[in-house]
Structure 1
Amino acid sequence: MATLNRRQFVQASAAAGGALATGLASPALAQSGPIKIGWLPALTGASSSTGIGIGRGVAFGVAELNAAGGIGGRKLELIIRDTQSDPTKAVNAASELTRSEKVAVLYGPGNSGEALACSAVIARSRTPQLNPCFVDELMDVEKYPLAFRAAPSNQQVGAAANRYVLDILKIKEAAVISDTTGYGTASAKAFVPMLAAAGGTVVYQGAIDANQPDLLPDMMRMRSAGARAIMPWSVNPGLLARILNVRAAMNWDVPVVGQTTLGSGQTRALLDRPENWEKVYQTNFRSCCFGENGALPQRTADFVGRLKAAKVETGDTLLWWVAAGYDVAGLVAAAIRSGAETAEQIAAHWNAGKPHAGVYGNYVWTPQDHNGYPDNDVVMSQANSFQDGVFKLAPGYAA
């Protein structure tokens, strides 16, 4: 199996691009030929770190299934369009994949701002959708009955971060900052009232453009406001690294607690010094963290072994991104193997209310609730414990 490094993945995905086409989505799967999975990542632009990491997992999962003979002898075909971190391009790409390519299932978009822009377009096409994004509004069984979240919601992510700051670090005064993307603004909107309701005090709230080069004025205002913790919500590794670098330059010894990208290899690569990763705690997941015995869960350890054998790079990304993408191929395969031939039958298979086992998580969806990720699997981890995309639980968390 070929190596899937960052450069090769971006180049291969860019080559898969095509022109927008029109037409109605097919209500049933074709009975012959490949089974098409559409994937809408940002492979370039400000939000690309997530798309590249998840994409490695999707590609590996499809390749692994195809190497084992496919599904009933039929191969899976992964059709990728780079959204370029642009909601408008994401909408056009979603329309192409659902209407022209007539994919059986659409995965993505890979970040929430683009997903918010695409939800109605995908729903109108009657295409089953698996979504890796956190923003709460993306799941609505009345408006989007074929959309399923294969990740936690912002309510789950925010609860884990707030608990760590308030109950474990024993800090009440926090600065909550976001970038200006759809994800950033929606996250701040959700997390600020959650923090206040849990007994915290938001002494500073602000939105920062991800490309803003000088963060010192913003950071000075946070410190002047009395913040004792910084809680950033952005998927942009450049912005997150600048926050950590400026914190160090200010000699401001406060913890940073927030989004999973705080711990990514891309963020680490942009730090002025390795020490700037100290006291940084990011959302993570039990399936992709070392346990108290220093080992990964057995299912995850087996997965990592297969990734290494296939030379899939994990040292510059997050393992949970790769695992989340990998699970998508299995979720699609299980639905097709069950005999599902229409979008509604695929949804009915996922809606059964029983666990769908994956590496990243065991997903349980019902017709009333398409948020399928287990609450207890959302944890906080320690950024500077990074090892090939895996982390230790944050200090004090296990207790």
Structure 2
Amino acid sequence: MNTPPSPPGVRRADESAVRIGALVPLTRPGWAEAGQHLLAGLELGVREVNDAGGTGGRPLELVVRDTAADPEKAAAAVDELAGLGVAALAGEYHSVVARAAAARADALGLPFLCSSAVLDALTDRPTDQVARLAPAQSHGWRIYADFLLGAGHRRTAVATQPSVYWASGTRILRDHLAPRGGTVVELDTGALTPEAVCDALVDSGATALLLLVGHPDPAVPIVRAVRQDHRLAGLLIGAPAGQPEFASWAALLGDDGAAIPFLRYLPEHLGPLGARVEAALRERLGSAPSFVAFEGYDTVTVLAEVLRPHGTDRARIAASWPRVAVEGTRGEIRFSRTPGIGVWQWAWTPVQVVDRDPAEPDRFRVLRTG
């Protein structure tokens, strides 16, 4: 169920519903495609919980707010949703936005289960209010760095944009690669055209280029330029943040978008629950669901588990994170304290390095698991 706030003087259809606030990027400059997948998973989860009788006999009601990749908009939405009486917050894809939402939720004493953002420093200080399903960036990106080393890439270039998230990713890669004989060269896409990026790559001697930039711009023009430059025929292009996961990547780049390894958070084989949810999400989306859709579904699975005994008591919901033990689409979900991370963390969801098969771009090849 997805409802806007009721106008003054108008009663909601079901005053008994337990309301969950959902933060989702649905418009630009947010990554709307990722937001649609996240929302599809959230909505499917709510529908199935309600079909099974709700939580403690009360239906769940999803109250959705579009964050549009704007931290200030997200913080304002948290204030609004708290005022509407939601029992908990869910969702968000963009790490910088989730960080703003987490800070506001912590200040208000509002439990927040973050679905998809990976930035390690999701909060400035330890908090009991926030839990997270996605793996921390340092965990996934170290697996990606090991993939690079295993494939023989010791000199890696990163095309970057200004962002806490991209800067964190660059630091993780450099810190992990340097002790193992690897180096990282930064290329500022704000100062370089795609063609100038190609020239810099030739001069750098890098054998791999990682796209630490937004999609579609400037990621798509850079890929096109590199693919068309005969000097870079042997260069590996990578995208650890997962840009090639979504259908728009293949639609925009065609064959040029294949063989670009990225991170996704799925097991090699889905169990019975995951397979059933995958089929339902595929029907709902009209295409193969991304890992982000599974994150949305798992978010509701966890929240339903903690809401059943606690109802809308926010303090008791937040206190229940360390006691969660529930089967999700990608394995059993439990939260713990992880060094360097201030929120309750599922450690860890399955991690894969995959790419689109050049012979069949709609098919994904698993290159490494972790």
Short-chain TM bin? 0.7 to 0.9
Equivalent position amino acid for 1:306 in 2? A
Deviation at 1:359, TM superposition (A): 0.8
Alignment of 1:331-350 (within 5 A): 331-339=302-310, 341-350=312-321
Deviation at 1:347, TM superposition (A): 2.5
Deviation at 1:325, TM superposition (A): 0.3
Alignment of 1:152-231 (within 5 A): 152-167=135-150, 169-202=151-184, 204-208=185-189, 214-231=193-210
SS in 1 for 2:301: helix
Deviation at 1:384, TM superposition (A): 3.2
1:180–1:208 CA contact under 8 A, matched in 2:
no
Q: Partner of 2:251 in structure 1?
A: 269
Q: Partner of 1:358 in structure 2?
A: 328
Q: Partner of 1:9 in structure 2?
A: none
Q: Partner of 1:24 in structure 2?
A: none
Distance 1:238 1:361 in 2: 35
* Per-residue deviation, residues 54-77 of structure 1 (Å, max 9, x unmatched): 111111111222222212221111
SS in 2 for 1:144: coil
SS in 2 for 1:74: coil
Q: Structure 1 pair 299/64, CA: closer, same or farther in 2 (3 Å)?
A: closer
Matched, 1:323 2:304: no
SS in 2 for 1:44: coil
1 or 2, which has the higher strand percentage? 2
Distance 2:89 2:198 in 1: 40
Distance 1:189 1:66 in 2: 44
5+ long unaligned stretches in structure 2: 8-14
**Relative to structure 2, which stretch is displaced further, 122-131 or 253-262?**
253-262
Distance 2:178 2:329 in 1: 34
Deviation at 1:250, TM superposition (A): 1.2
1:263–1:318 CA contact under 8 A, matched in 2:
no
5+ long unaligned stretches in structure 1: 2-11, 20-31
Deviation at 1:180, TM superposition (A): 2.8
- Structure 1 segments of 4 or more deviating over 6 A? 385-390
Deviation at 1:267, TM superposition (A): 1.2
1:364–1:373 CA contact under 8 A, matched in 2:
yes
Q: Structure 1 pair 281/347, CA: closer, same or farther in 2 (3 Å)?
A: same
Alignment of 1:368-379 (within 5 A): 370-374=344-348, 377-379=350-352
2:336–2:347 CA contact under 8 A, matched in 1:
no
* Per-residue deviation, residues 288-328 of structure 1 (Å, max 9, x unmatched): x4x5xxxx4433222122334xx31152x752111000111
Equivalent position amino acid for 1:85 in 2? A
SS in 2 for 1:135: coil
Equivalent position amino acid for 1:78 in 2? L
SS in 1 for 2:121: helix
SS in 2 for 1:136: coil
Deviation at 1:127, TM superposition (A): 0.7
Deviation at 1:259, TM superposition (A): 1.7
Matched, 1:50 2:50: no
Deviation at 1:340, TM superposition (A): 5.5
Distance 1:384 1:122 in 2: 41
Q: Partner of 1:382 in structure 2?
A: 355
Q: Partner of 2:24 in structure 1?
A: 41
Matched, 1:115 2:98: yes
Equivalent position amino acid for 2:27 in 1? T
Distance 1:102 1:363 in 2: 27
Deviation at 1:135, TM superposition (A): 0.4
SS in 1 for 2:57: coil
Q: Structure 1 pair 91/64, CA: closer, same or farther in 2 (3 Å)?
A: same
TM-score (norm: length of structure 2):
0.85
Matched, 1:299 2:273: yes
Matched, 1:95 2:79: yes
Deviation at 1:162, TM superposition (A): 0.2
SS in 2 for 1:270: helix
SS in 1 for 2:227: helix
SS in 2 for 1:38: strand
Deviation at 1:351, TM superposition (A): 0.7
Alignment of 1:228-239 (within 5 A): 228-234=207-213, 236-239=215-218
Q: Structure 1 pair 199/393, CA: closer, same or farther in 2 (3 Å)?
A: same
Q: Partner of 1:26 in structure 2?
A: none
SS in 1 for 2:261: strand
Deviation at 1:235, TM superposition (A): 5.2
Distance 1:193 1:336 in 2: 40
Q: Structure 1 pair 143/362, CA: closer, same or farther in 2 (3 Å)?
A: same
